Structure 1
Amino acid sequence: MRPTMALRGGGESPLGKHGHYLGGWGNFGGMKQKGIITYAVSPNKQNVLAGTANAAVFNTWRRFSKQVLYWAPPLVAFYYAMEWATHRNHYLNSKAGRAEYADEE
């Protein structure tokens, strides 16, 4: 069973090789378009690094400012906990600390 020309989209485009429909989206196989002018710049003529230093600074600052409140408070808390533990360890291993806690062992 063969679809009718109405179901094919009006029949303005021809059938291609092996009976496949070439019309529809983009009008494949139809008439060539006229009056469309496109311009392009060769890839080796473009300035590919234009604005990268400026964009890198502002993008880095934007990303840093969005994330700093997630990692800075735990970092500060762990730093102070580690400072306290280091000072406490030095005290407990000093002469005064051993004298104070000598009877608890």
Structure 2
Amino acid sequence: MRPTQRMLGGGETPVGRFNKYLGGWGNFGGLKQKGIITYGISSNRQNPFAGAVHDAIFNTWRRFSGQVLYIAPPFITAYYVMDWAIHRNEYLNSKAGRAEFADQEE
């Protein structure tokens, strides 16, 4: 069976009589590869923040709406429990609260 075009790119490990593999891990410095195309753009032609504000708004909304039902109910519950506890503590330490519960002290 004949190796694929990728295996014929060069390297050190032999593939029998059909050339060599691309190379071992970290050792890709074999023969020049064919068929690899790279594109570039001049740095003064790039706009790195193109659409950043628009994407940030909609991505933030998407992430918020996906997580709000997991986060909001425990925080709302904790707020109301803490609010009740603070008001109850203030009442029990007031004159009226002490008078109402004075006979229940241990």
Amino acid across the alignment from 1:92: L
Counterpart for residue 62 of structure 2: 62
C-alpha distance in 2 between matches for 1:100 and 1:80: 24
Residues 43/90 of structure 1: CA separation in 2 closer, same or farther (3 Å cut): same
TM-score, with length taken from structure 1: 0.66
C-alpha distance in 1 between matches for 2:65 and 2:101: 47
**Identity between Structure 1 and Structure 2 (%):** 56
Instruction: Classify the secondary structure of the residue corresponding to 2:84.
Output: helix
- Consecutive aligned runs of 4 or more in structure 1 exceeding 3 Å deviation: 16-20
- The answer to whether the Cα contact below 8 Å between 1:92 and 1:98 also exists between their aligned partners in 2 is yes
Indicate the structure (1 or 2) with the bigger Cα radius of gyration.
1
Q: Within 5 Å, give how 1:1-105 maps onto structure 2.
A: 7-9=1-3, 20=14, 21-22=19-20, 39-105=39-105
Deviation of the 1:86 alpha carbon: 0.4
Q: Which has the higher contact order (CA 8 A, sep 6+)?
A: 2
Task: Provide the aligned C-alpha RMSD in A.
Answer: 3.4
- The answer to whether the Cα contact below 8 Å between 1:23 and 1:29 also exists between their aligned partners in 2 is no
Q: Would you say how many aligned residue pairs link Structure 1 and Structure 2?
A: 89
Q: Deviations over 1:39-88 (max 9, x none)?
A: 53123421111111110010000000000000101110110000000000
TM-score, with length taken from structure 2: 0.66
Q: Give 5+ residue unaligned stretches, structure 1.
A: 1-6
Q: Give 5+ residue unaligned stretches, structure 2.
A: 23-29
